[in-house]
Amino acid sequence: MTAWQGSPDINIRDIDGQHRMLVTLMTDLHDVMKYARGTDTICEVFDEVVEYTNYHFTVEERLMRDSRFPGYLLHKAVHDDVRRRLVDLREQFEKGGRGAVSTATLQFLRDWLISHIAAEDQAIVRHLNGQTVGFSSLVSMSIH
């Protein structure tokens, strides 16, 4: 599985960087599941994916709340579902090892993330761009 390809950026530098990091971490998880010998390495990367996903979603949700994004509740529900799925996958791996979580599942999650950025996250940008007040005051993120 290859890392970040294409450009589903939303043109908010910090969030775009977080998206790239998430794709990289999911790619790393896929690769260690496929090639690593020990489960400790896999557990470490799995934990990084879960923790960084929580961090990123929290940042994005704060942006949506602060800007009064009308799709906030639905978008947050999607985030919450992904959070649960990642924790479930981590627990499945902990209990059943490599065979419990397929690399196809991890590929699906990575592809879903890229699709989510290209579609749902773009709706946030359209909302922010439609505001009369610059949204740089809402968050300390640079727009490029």
Alpha-carbon distance of 27 to 21, in angstroms, equals: 10
CATH level 3 topology of 13-130: Four Helix Bundle (Hemerythrin (Met), subunit A) (1.20.120)
**pLDDT tens digits, residue range 83-139?**
999 999 899 888 888 788 888 888 888 888 888 888 889 899 989 888 634 444 444
Query: What's the pLDDT band for 5 if we cut at 50, 70, 90?
Result: low
Phi, psi of 4 (to 5 degrees): -50, 120
Positions of E strands within the chain: none
> Residue 82 in contact with residue 53, Cβ under 8 Å?
yes
Q: What is the reported pTM?
A: 0.82
> In angstroms, what is the C-alpha Rg of the chain?
16
- The answer to whether residue 140 scores a pLDDT higher than 80 is no
Q: Quick one: 30 exposed, middle or buried, by C-beta within 10 A (0-12, 13-18, 19+)?
A: buried
Q: Which pair of tokens denotes residue 19? A: 């998206």
Domain ranges, ordered by start, for the chain:
13-130
**pLDDT tens digits, residue range 62-88?**
999 999 999 999 999 999 999 999 999
The full DSSP string for 37-61 is: S-HHHHHHHHHHHHHHHHHHHHHHH
